[in-house]
Amino acid sequence: MLNEQDEHLLHTELVKVVRRMRKIKLSVLSEQVIYSEYVALSHISRYVKENPDSMGIYVSELADRMDTKISAVSRMLNSIEGKGLITRTVNVKDRRNTYVCLTPAGEQVLADSTQNMEQLRKQMIQRMGHDDVCRLIELWNKLAGIMEGEVDHVLRQQKERETPASREGEPAETEDRP
């Protein structure tokens, strides 16, 4: 069992490495798009290849695939559309839905960016080694699961603390009460 000082040092090192990872500018791999836009272009392209008869991917489907809110995806699409990399078409049968597809310029940017991303991925796996990458994935998933569980626990505790205060005028429940 770790003492409080050792736990604090571990926490500090974990925060440092997470910050360091977040500071890595993957956007330098493409001059035209930032990393999240690259991911969106990739999802759009993949969807159209999987569904060749479609007019494109719905914004809601793209948001699901990116595990992002529709509003955030819409803002990103505004930027990508402004660069001439995608087109949006309103579904004539259901005007609430919009199709998104790549323009020829978008396809070219995706192809160029994909080369750089593939080179990065290959080098990362080659230099780290397959087993270490697998172990890292396993550990990150374990950490994410623990953090999700702890955040849920804290939120439940906060809700429980707020509940008696929100029922003003009602007697507070006690533990001896059946």
Question: How does DSSP assign 47-110, residue by residue?
Answer: HHHH-TTSS-EEHHHHHHHHT--HHHHHHHHHHHHHTTSEEEEE-SS-TT-EEEEE-HHHHHHH
In a domain, 59, yes or no: yes
In this structure, what is the dihedral angle of CA atoms 74, 140, 123, 36, given to the nearest 10 degrees?
10
Q: String of b and e for 48-66 (b: at least 16 CB within 10 Å)?
A: beeeeeeebbbbebbbebb
pTM: 0.68
Q: Residue 172 — pLDDT band, cuts 50, 70, 90?
A: low
The predicted-structure confidence for 35-90, as pLDDT tens digits, reads as follows 889 999 999 999 999 999 988 999 999 999 999 999 999 999 999 999 999 999 98
The answer to whether residues 69 and 110 belong to one domain is: yes
Residue 178 confidence (pLDDT) = 38
Q: Residue 169 — pLDDT band, cuts 50, 70, 90?
A: low
Task: Count how many domains the chain has.
Answer: 2
The predicted-structure confidence for 4-32, as pLDDT tens digits, reads as follows 988 989 989 988 988 888 877 776 667 78
Q: What is the CATH number of the domain that holds 82?
A: 1.10.10.10
* Structural domain for 88, as ranges: 25-128
How far is CA 71 from its chain centroid? 14
What is the distance between the alpha carbons of residues 98 and 60, in angstroms, rounded to a whole number? Answer: 9
The answer to whether residues 116 and 156 belong to one domain is: no
β-bridge mates for residue 86, sequence order: 102
The predicted-structure confidence for 113-145, as pLDDT tens digits, reads as follows 898 888 989 999 999 999 999 999 999 999 999
